[in-house]
Structure 1
């Protein structure tokens, strides 16, 4: 993850303000085999039809997006297999996250095999007095996880083997990063840098998506 995103809470809307008639993109993480891009698409704009070799997970963070024949609303996502040709169109001002990765040996999970639209918040449910985890996608160098915390529940301080990008989906939580604690709420993001001690404590019932790149 780029260093500029490792300084506390941020919002994708502040990173990439939408401009009328524009399609904007911002690289959050770029490697030979894994890329994470944020797109800001003004209403009526599009990304023209192209042939994509890599697999991608698309997450519609806000707005209304069409990817080929699939229409995504807020917090909905879809996996796209490689060697597919499709266009992306914004029916209204929208923010789209693309996680693109090559097709090396990996662990195929149920959601990817379905090839259907799914809602991040609806995939995982709360556990009374506990924490739920759901692996959306997993391989040695890339992990995408959904987590749901009951109010007051949290993780013990720990470090991660790579940078972890957190998207708050529902509720509020306190995020400790090194010696600082940040209050995060739905619609905001934070990065846990590689090797830096951190934890999560839910203030209310709290759901988040975690993207770990090693």
Structure 2
């Protein structure tokens, strides 16, 4: 088993995989493959990711709290249970106006 991944054939509760750490962003890999990866992340209030651009589409699913995701300068406010696809090659920022957890899925295939 890849130690960077969660154990296979064993159920888990996504929101319980990761804890909040004060003044921090925490990330844990659920699955990592050459064709993409799935991670769960927690953001403490006031934290965020600096603007970046990915060569791949990214599916962001909020599993606890509320997030602000900025894509090409437009803010999207997502609540628990909501999701958004961040398009490849578009500048994006993730902001935690309050603490939240999300699952990020990056699909690398289809761009060959």
Runs (5+) with no aligned partner, structure 1: 1-106
Rounded Cα–Cα distance in structure 2 between residues aligned with 1:116 and 1:110: 12
Runs (5+) with no aligned partner, structure 2: none
- In the alignment, is the contact (CA less than 8 A) between 1:108 and 1:137 conserved in 2? no
- In the alignment, is the contact (CA less than 8 A) between 2:30 and 2:40 conserved in 1? yes
Rounded Cα–Cα distance in structure 1 between residues aligned with 2:90 and 2:3: 29
1:202 aligns with 2:96: yes
Higher helix share: 1
Q: TM-score normalized by structure 2?
A: 0.89
Rounded Cα–Cα distance in structure 2 between residues aligned with 1:202 and 1:189: 15
Runs of 4+ displaced beyond 6 Å: none
1:144-173 superposed Cα distances (whole Å, 9 cap, x missing partner): 000000011100000112100011011111
Q: Look at both structures and tell me which one has the larger radius of gyration over its CA atoms.
A: 1
Structure with more contact order per residue of length (Cα contacts < 8 Å, sep ≥ 6): 2
Q: 1:117 aligns with which of 2, 5, 11?
A: 11
Q: Which residue of 2 aligns with 1:152?
A: 46
Q: 1:133 aligns with which of 27, 50, 54?
A: 27
Q: TM-score normalized by structure 1?
A: 0.48
Rounded Cα–Cα distance in structure 1 between residues aligned with 2:56 and 2:93: 15
1:12-59 superposed Cα distances (whole Å, 9 cap, x missing partner): xxxxxxxxxxxxxxxxxxxxxxxxxxxxxxxxxxxxxxxxxxxxxxxx
